[in-house]
Amino acid sequence: MKDLYIADLAGFEEGRSFDSFFLVLHKQQRTTKTNKPYLNLILGDKTGQLEGRIWDPADPRIAREFDRGDIVKARGSVSRFDDRLQMKVEQLRKAAANEADKTDLLPATTLDVDGLWRDLMGFVESFTEPDLKRLLTAILANTELAQAYREAPAARQLHHAWLGGLLEHVVSLLKLADRVAPHYPILHRDLLLTGVILHDVGKVRELAWDVGFEYTVEGTLLGHIQMGMALVEKTIDSLPDFPPRLRTLVLHMILSHHGKLEFGSPKLPMIPEALVLNFVDDLDAKMQAIATEFEKSAREGKAPDELTGKVWSLDQRQLLNTRGWLDGEE
């Protein structure tokens, strides 16, 4: 098991030795000015990334064969370049199966995934509309899909960009949507919650998360909206007598959830449930982005009553932590 993390190295003095398990995110052969070959690595774990240098790739203590995506055990020492931490790698071998846990090696939700899953299934259980209930039951009963749904990040780098992020985001949305639904009697609660559960299901195919978080080529060419619709359409078509109009509405919820053409939704929300889905999805993503931004400010040593820097994903606005600022008043 892994007991030393990249974040722990910050306080290490120059030259101190250590070893740990890492995921190889990048591997490249380079040459020094005197034309000697060396290897440049980017190693990662759930707390961050670290540049590694292997100055003597022919050393017998360095594995011959390892590649991007492998989990390795590496030993070496701390060095610094331009105030940036590096690792001088002296020994390296591939990890045996199960020697290390992948959830230690990529950023992951801090919540309990089994609990989140139970929450999700509880919402499905609460449905009174039988067709939507059997649709969701059928989709989530697919074990391969369910496993991916539990693991997938919600995005590559904006909000909820960690393992389990998709599930975490969906469960938060389910709770929020379930609070909002009774306020508008016109809303079909089960259809709204179905939209919440399925709107981003295509992300399990749009994104790959075995080595860092990346878009697949298929994901880049088709997008999660289209991939999710295809997946849901296929399941519906396998269910006998699924009402055609309900099918259209479920697909419309997925298709329109980004809310605007220029955000990649080819149709605007045209039913109340689709409008509400777009709002709660957008609100939850922004509230999560704000929380992330406040954490980042704190990490960078800003006082609780200072404004954050300009936030790119929120139209370059700066943010202020309400309580931090009020508490800072003399």
Site for a second copy in 172-201 (CB under 8 A): 172, 175-176, 179-180, 182-184, 186, 188, 191
Inter-helix orientation angle 143-151/130-140, to 10°: 80
Give the separation between CA 47 and CA 31, rounded to whole angstroms.
Answer: 30
Q: Is residue 14 part of the contact set for a second copy (CB under 8 A)?
A: yes
Q: Confirm if 140 and 248 have CB atoms less than 8 A apart.
A: no
Give the separation between CA 117 and CA 114, rounded to whole angstroms.
Answer: 5
Give the separation between CA 322 and CA 57, rounded to whole angstroms.
Answer: 53
**Nearer to a second copy by C-beta: 122 or 243?**
243
Closest to 71 measured CA to CA, from 39, 89, 43, 94: 94
Q: Is residue 238 part of the contact set for a second copy (CB under 8 A)?
A: no
Q: Considering Cα of 196, then 198, then 200, then 201, what sign does the dihedral take?
A: positive
Q: Is residue 245 part of the contact set for a second copy (CB under 8 A)?
A: yes
**Nearer to a second copy by C-beta: 103 or 148?**
148
**Nearer to a second copy by C-beta: 239 or 326?**
326
Minimum separation from the CB atom of position 306 to a second copy (A)? 8
**Nearer to a second copy by C-beta: 15 or 101?**
15
187 membership: H or E segment, kind and range: none
What 3-state DSSP class applies to 48?
Answer: strand
Q: Which of residues 75-104 bind a second copy (CB under 8 A)?
A: 80, 83
Query: CA 167 → CA 102, 114, 161, 310, distances in Å?
Result: 18, 10, 11, 29
Q: Confirm if 45 and 34 have CB atoms less than 8 A apart.
A: no
Minimum separation from the CB atom of position 201 to a second copy (A)? 16
Q: Is residue 297 part of the contact set for a second copy (CB under 8 A)?
A: no
Q: Is residue 239 part of the contact set for a second copy (CB under 8 A)?
A: no
* Binding string, residues 149-168; x marks residues near a second copy by CB under 8 A: --------------------
Minimum separation from the CB atom of position 316 to a second copy (A)? 9
Q: Give the count of residues interacting with a second copy (CB under 8 A).
A: 79
Minimum separation from the CB atom of position 102 to a second copy (A)? 24
Which of 266, 295, 296, 300 is the binder for a second copy (CB under 8 A)?
Answer: 266
Minimum separation from the CB atom of position 66 to a second copy (A)? 19
Give the separation between CA 85 and CA 9, rounded to whole angstroms.
Answer: 8
What 3-state DSSP class applies to 126?
Answer: coil
- Identify which range of 63-71, 96-104, 135-143, 281-289 contacts a second copy by CB under 8 A: 281-289
Question: 20 forms bridges with which residues in the sheet?
Answer: 74
Residue given tokens 């919540």 in the structure block: 111
- Identify which range of 47-55, 87-95, 158-166, 169-177 contacts a second copy by CB under 8 A: 169-177
Which of 267, 295, 296, 300 is the binder for a second copy (CB under 8 A)?
Answer: 267
Query: CA 106 → CA 16, 21, 66, 69, 285, distances in Å?
Result: 25, 12, 19, 11, 21
What phi-psi label fits residue 17: left (phi over 0), alpha (psi between -120 and 50 degrees) or beta?
beta
Which of 252, 257, 277, 281 is the binder for a second copy (CB under 8 A)?
Answer: 252
Give the separation between CA 40 and CA 203, rounded to whole angstroms.
Answer: 31
Minimum separation from the CB atom of position 261 to a second copy (A)? 5
Minimum separation from the CB atom of position 264 to a second copy (A)? 4
**Nearer to a second copy by C-beta: 88 or 175?**
175
**Nearer to a second copy by C-beta: 64 or 245?**
245
